Chain A
Amino acid sequence: MPRELTQNRIQKIWIPSKDDKPAVPRRAGGPYFTNSPTVIVMVGLPARGKTYISKKLTRYLNWTGVPTKVFNVGEYRREAVKQYSSYDFFRPDNQEAMKIRKQCALSALTDVKSYLLEEGGQVAVFDATNTTRDRREMILNFGKENGFKVFFIESVCEDPNVVATNIMEVKVSCPDYKDCNKTDAMEDFLKRIECYRASYQPLDPDNYDRDISFIKVIDVGRRFLVNRIQDYIQSKIVYYLMNIHVQPRTIYLCRHGESEHNVLGQIGGDSGLSSRGKKFSGALSRFMEEQNLKNLKVWTSQLKRTIQTAETLSMPYEQWKALNEIDAGICEEMTYEQIKERYPEEFALRDQDKYYYRYPTGESYQDLVQRLEPVIMELERQENVLVICHQAVMRCLLAYFLDKSADEMPYLKCPLHTVLKLTPVAYGCKVESIYLNVEAVNTHRERPEQDVKRGPSTLMRRNSVTPLASPEPTKKPRIKSLDDHMASTSTSLSGFAASDISTAGQPLLGKACLT
């Protein structure tokens, strides 16, 4: 007998009604798949962009709904060895240091295991040099013992300019060098790199490493070698890595000028600009001219108000249907007051969980993220771009660039007539907010008071890592000795109890795509 279906009230997803938690976003269907979690392992000499890639990839995967976390072994080392003295620590003949460094790696792997098996993680990025076969062998075994897939990302670069730039951007200002001047820091770091060079065994696709899954990124993306992609997530990672670049550029995000619906407090629809909205378009045009950019691309949605705004710029622009505002379904063109009156339950449900909530016959923020993924991918490929879009859409895009969680995303402030200028810097994104001095209504609704019943469990949330702050330190006790550590890593694969852990945030489909 086929099971009866009910529609989950927040996501409007049909699920068999025997489930006792209809409000929890989850995959539909029978037994839950245990998708093998994936460990991404960085490989490469220092200053080759491993941490840059780790953080960016993590941000991207989290935004698309794949719970991902970076484990940077350098940070574990800084915890263990409070004060960095010099590159001598990294000399291959420094036995004491070697011991500490190995412990740190093992400690990080323990945390990886915990994250993937007990904390709902799907992907862990193990960020370290991992330049020797021995070290990689150890990680492969670790993966095998725990049922994790392993995917290596090696960054190879011998352009001295690139290496020097990296060192200046992120190394001289790192905690290790807080008491040094730039020149000394640079000099020490270059010697640090040399310590690794003699023992560096690059991935060898023709022989030794022909059976493992990896991508070699050569010369900052000029060339790639891809070996044995196993599954969907590895394929997406490869595609992403092939589309990102490090050319300096700026992304401008703004909404259309104030629209007639905005003035009336109506959501959605396809109205034209108000007179203040038109004034904003003029101001935007002058602003962009002042920015004096070579080669600016301008993108709009296919709704009238963004196109009208772009028209004033007198430059070519591209229309993307994917940039259209969130579809409010039956609530289209209503004011919030009207919605509250006519659909009080829907109104309340939305405040309960604004990210997962789908308007009846409409969309949710989660749907928006899925829709916007090709836009993000193309933004990564491009250089200077101005995106003229809408409130919910802009929140989603901003959340990607600023690494905001699903929880925060629907409440990010994106006021009318304000341009956000995003510039990549170090490991993150600098944001400048520029109000163009044309009055407009405020369309921002704050998160309601905390007495509103919270929706799905925190397992649904993605990690929130603010770009330039240090990642949350792991709370695990420091491991005193290697022996203690070996004793504590008796592995038993704790069954991946999937009942609450759903990757409902998958843009494309439920979990199976991760197999």
Chain B
Amino acid sequence: MRGCGQSWGRDRAVCMTNCPTLIVTVGLPARGKTYISKKLTRYLNWIGVPTKEFNVGQYRRRCVKIYKSFEFFSPDNEEGLKIRKQCASTALNDVQQYLSSEGGQVAVFDATNTTRERRNVIIKFADQNGYKVFFVESICEDPDVINANIVQVKLGSPDYADCNTDEAVEDFMKRIKCYENSYETLDEVLDKDLSYIKVMDVGQRYLVNRVMDHIQSRIVYYLMNIHITPRSIYLCRHGESDLNIKGKIGGDSGLSERGKKFARHLGDFIHEQNIKDLKVWTSQMKRTIQTAEALGVPYEQWKALNEIDAGVCEEMSYEEIQEHYPLEFALRDQDKYRYRYPKGESYEDLVQRLEPVIMELERQENVLVICHQAVMRCLLAYFLDKSAEELPYLKCPLHTVLKLTPVAYGCKVESISLKVEAVNTHRERPENVTVNRSREEALQTVPSHL
């Protein structure tokens, strides 16, 4: 997350200085380079590795205000070549700024980088700055995939704001042609000493060369698990529980009457949606399992989906926490993402715990995840690219299903309330988070309960 450079609980700044990594995409236009760049950046940030993407096309758009036609990309357009080279340079400068001065750990340099010459420039740049380089090449010759890409993300690009669909597609195809002749794919012999992964035909096949370290290994694993088959992910919490009603956190209580009603409505909703091959996942806590039971379909229990462990504060209401642990309560409000309950967990710990869930969600297709408030916030932050600061305050009310559908470079969210009343369990950050605040100030934002 874009926190203080504290990654994933493992790499401590106190011990070793990890070389920053420069990921370099390679491939013809419309091969999914930007899709991969953005997705990878989102994943790495979520697991706590500060990452940023640098899209050279955006630099070009800033430089050349109006895009006229594919001719800009013609290999004999000297003026065009000069500008494009300049843009790549500017982007590399920003990369250097990010990795060497702004605490970045990974930079994703998103451009075609289709010639060995260009790649050598980048390698030299990285050597000078002490960065490791890892290439991600996307190769695809399936015309259906390429067309789909163009329709999904190119037509809507600023370059084609004033064109109709057919014109845009035609121009873009010619643009691709401009690169084809000079395209030098990563070669088994010539590039044998480089670290890279070649993704072929949208993940049907991979060629992996010289993985150097942990982060590269994680990147490869991630890339091998993602897919682009259309599907939806449904996130919701268990039905309202008995402890929810009393305003108490944690524990392992069962569903209240309204919670049971929600479970039934959820069952109806799922059937109406008529989802193909839906997988249902729950935690190992009674309330999510009870909710799933009402659906009448098979489900899987994941301990990793259990609610955040509130340690000594388990089964307390916020009022009780304020009474018994006012200092802890204040500290939590000061940094809700990193704060760990005594003998319990933090949101940061949760993210680490949930990483295998995210990985498996990437592999799967249609899934309904019935989980808990803090857990749902973490998962949602991954899909919607929310920062560590925002994550613990994302709104995940009871009895509401969030339907996430991947679209273009991101995720569409639909919020569906299943029309069963429930308590509100969302506590906003109060104004006063100092340790000497009054009881009233501390409890200012506690939602009402029994």
Contact = CB atoms under 8 A, between A and B. Distances in A.
A361 B250 CA distance: 11
A454 interface: no
B409 interface: no
A393 to B, nearest CB: 16
A248 interface: no
B interface SS class: mixed
Contacts of A243: 217
A317 B290 contact: no
B422 to A, nearest CB: 18
A31 B300 CA distance: 11
B208 A223 contact: yes
B297 A30 contact: yes
B299 A28 contact: yes
A508 B205 contact: no
A59 to B, nearest CB: 20
Interface in B7-55: 9-12, 14-16
A443 B439 CA distance: 45
Contacts of A320: 9-10
B335 interface: no
Interface string A116-138: 00000000000000000000000
B433 interface: no
A235 B300 CA distance: 20
Contact of B298 (A3, A30, A228, A507): A30
B363 interface: yes
Contacts of A22: none
Contacts of A33: 298
Interface in A194-226: 205, 222-226
Interface in B276-311: 279, 281, 284-286, 289-290, 292-294, 296-304
Nearest to B279: A512
Interface string A297-326: 000000000000000000011111110000
B314 interface: yes
Interface in A346-367: 361, 367
A28 B301 contact: yes
Interface string A1-21: 011010100001110100000
A29 interface: yes
Contacts of A361: 252, 314
Interface stretch (B69-77, B177-185, B220-228): B220-228
A492 B361 CA distance: 35
A510 interface: yes
B322 interface: no
Contacts of A322: 352
A187 interface: no
A31 B298 contact: yes
B205 A226 contact: yes
Given A14-B284, A508-B302, A381 B217 contact: yes
Contacts, number: 125
Contacts of A222: 209-210
Of residues A7, A226, A228, which shows the largest number of chain B Cβ atoms within 10 Å of its Cβ?
A226
Interface residues of A, number: 49
A226 B302 contact: no
Nearest to B349: A321
B356 interface: yes
A235 B301 contact: no
A510 B300 contact: yes
Contacts of B299: 28-30
A227 interface: yes
B417 to A, nearest CB: 22
Nearest to A234: B224
Contacts of A224: 206-209
A232 B363 contact: yes
B206 A226 contact: yes
B161 to A, nearest CB: 40
A318 B7 CA distance: 12
Contacts of B15: 316-318
A378 interface: yes
A225 B293 contact: no
A113 interface: no
Nearest to B220: A242
A321 B351 CA distance: 12
B211 interface: yes
B134 to A, nearest CB: 14
Nearest to A243: B217
B204 interface: yes
Given A239-B224, A242-B211, A321-B9, 8 more contacts: A3-B293, A5-B254, A223-B207, A223-B209, A226-B206, A239-B221, A320-B10, A509-B281
Interface of B: 9-12, 14-16, 204-211, 213-214, 217, 220-221, 224-225, 252, 254, 260, 263, 279, 281, 284-286, 289-290, 292-294, 296-304, 314, 343, 349, 352, 356-357, 360, 363
Top 5 A-B pairs, shortest CB-CB distance: A316-B15, A2-B293, A29-B298, A226-B206, A224-B208
